[in-house]
Structure 1
């Protein structure tokens, strides 16, 4: 887009007539970039696991209160919500960042690397922001600073949601976006009309912003299958029912669901078995085998169909051998599809195109999952990708999210600030 066209676009609000000049978000983000980077480095150095983000919450609340925002803490255990009311009346928009780190021992060698250790699943582990949540929080603090400075011109209200336990709460606990929704973060005043979020991703270059209408991240449902056979001597298998063989047949049969039963041209689905456990001795056929895995889909109808096919396949294969299979889906972990509302995407796409030009790309969906999807089930929402990989580094040579060597080009933080600031402002400014 030429400079002249961009200048005109800054004076228009969705083509509905002449308005006050919109803020220059690129310049504004540059002005606070050093502070945003400092936030990120502090939060990176002191990560905390899901539902244990106590010091993180204190840090966030302190800075949000210093900006003059109304702050509430202790939501969904450690979540922080801050409200900025503009001096002009209007709608309410929510912006979200996740807070938790991962049980990963950092290997980056950065001067602000995490040396935190804690206990996870009964073992001592390192703790690291290996998925960019430190950047997400820093970005949202930056957006809060920019919008608070423009309170007099802000046409509406912004609700800043800092969410714990995106990586899923500990076993036996609740948490995350689902619990925040249950506790009223979207239904209590000020009630948001829409919500925006983003994720820093290593697969995209720094400066790139990825958008997609519809499903952008997959649903995720845990899967557990218990095969019941009949124990016998390994030298006389005909005297029993071998659940190991049946389990092997089920694993192979499940793979035909994605490859032969689902409409692969519509959207991909994934059935992965990641753990198989059965037996205690080499010459004893056991009486049971337990398998655990994950199911992924990119739209809700296919998700429901996948669940039904997995259950039927496992049960019928077991039945054919005289065994019995119990299928448990979403016992503990169940995230819906992260689904970008098409109407909201059409509405906001011109703002993103004006802000980023050729650096805005239509993203391919990914089969990772995000509990931002629980917010999107309640109100229209958009979830975007922001690249963090230096342009001179090939994707295959750059540490992926969840790697102990995960890092980022910190110039991407200003891109994230521009993204959420522009979306929030233009959404509120639109008639």
Structure 2
């Protein structure tokens, strides 16, 4: 269960392709439909996602002039579209921290070095980078440790520990500072408690940056299909999307589509067990993608 909605994205694009294919003799240009896997990053050591598709020529032959994308949202009401010019989603890093200690019996911790304790200190230290080193009034930033692996028994202090997590940033200079501080802090904290630690960082996405001119040009198309009252300007989100790599090559517009049932009081976030999408919201997605393509190729007079 991926619990993010990418199956609905595939269904929406298939629907748009079906509609447009029936009227291709009336389309003034060429439309490409990009079905992209590994949107949240390929497995470690593999290629995938938008970067690989660009490398293999997805934006060439014929050349792409503009690109549109959407993400359904379980906390946005059905019938609503949300957008933001410029930076709308975060740059994403995946990190792996390996802590090395010295194994010993849990009854005599003084004869070893506890990598679990060191991991706790590192996690605490990483959060001070956000709460004390990052100017959050300028842009949001997040460091999350999502997985810790260590130990084999209740009464043994293990030899090593591994932490895996993510960094989310919306501003390039802040991103550079946070990553630099992480690389400085992790080994020094481990050393302070008698151990060793290394950190590996892997970039998964750049900032999803909506071209301002393209966004302004296509906003009437979104308002046409959803109604002006149902197209909302929002703040940036710390979610990530490697659609950003397409946007580094050509102007792009990425927006959010409502999937929350209208009678829902407390919708569950993405990547949670109770995640739910009201499929009635998919129709607006088909209409939006279709209208954007047609209006871009044949701008309304």
Q: TM-score normalised to the size of structure 2?
A: 0.88
Q: Deviations over 1:200-235 (max 9, x none)?
A: 111111110010112222222221111223444555
In structure 2, what is the Cα distance between the partners aligned to 1:410 and 1:235?
56
**Residue 197 (str. 1) matches residue 69 (str. 2):** yes
Q: Deviations over 1:103-123 (max 9, x none)?
A: x2xxxxxxxxxxxxxxxxxxx
Contact 1:300 1:336 survives alignment (8 Å) = no
2:254 maps to which residue?
383
Runs of 5+ consecutive residues of structure 1 not aligned to the other structure: 1-103, 105-127
In structure 1, what is the Cα distance between the partners aligned to 2:97 and 2:206?
21
Task: Map 1:408-423 to 2 at 5 A.
Answer: 408-423=277-292
Q: 2:231 aligns with which of 360, 380, 387?
A: 360
In structure 2, what is the Cα distance between the partners aligned to 1:230 and 1:319?
13
Alignment RMSD (CA, Å): 2.5
**Per-residue deviation at 1:271?**
1.0
Q: 1:336 aligns with which of 198, 202, 206?
A: 206
**Residue 244 (str. 1) matches residue 116 (str. 2):** yes
Contact 1:227 1:324 survives alignment (8 Å) = yes
In structure 2, what is the Cα distance between the partners aligned to 1:401 and 1:228?
34
Q: 1:180 aligns with which of 53, 67, 75?
A: 53
Q: Which moved more, 1:248-257 or 1:400-409?
A: 400-409
Q: Deviations over 1:11-62 (max 9, x none)?
A: xxxxxxxxxxxxxxxxxxxxxxxxxxxxxxxxxxxxxxxxxxxxxxxxxxxx
Q: SS of the counterpart of 2:116?
A: helix
**Residue 290 (str. 1) matches residue 159 (str. 2):** no
**Residue 345 (str. 1) matches residue 218 (str. 2):** no
Contact 2:114 2:158 survives alignment (8 Å) = yes
Q: SS of the counterpart of 1:377?
A: helix
Runs of 5+ consecutive residues of structure 2 not aligned to the other structure: none
- Alpha carbons of 1:321 and 1:169: their partners in 2 closer, same or farther (altered >3 Å)? closer
Contact 2:83 2:234 survives alignment (8 Å) = yes
Q: SS of the counterpart of 2:168?
A: strand
- Alpha carbons of 1:143 and 1:366: their partners in 2 closer, same or farther (altered >3 Å)? same
Say which structure, 1 or 2, has more relative contact order (CA 8 Å, 6+ apart): 2
- Alpha carbons of 1:195 and 1:148: their partners in 2 closer, same or farther (altered >3 Å)? same
**Per-residue deviation at 1:268?**
1.4
- Alpha carbons of 1:189 and 1:391: their partners in 2 closer, same or farther (altered >3 Å)? same
Q: TM-score normalised to the size of structure 1?
A: 0.63
1:135 maps to which residue?
8
How many residues in Structure 1 have an aligned counterpart in Structure 2?
Answer: 299
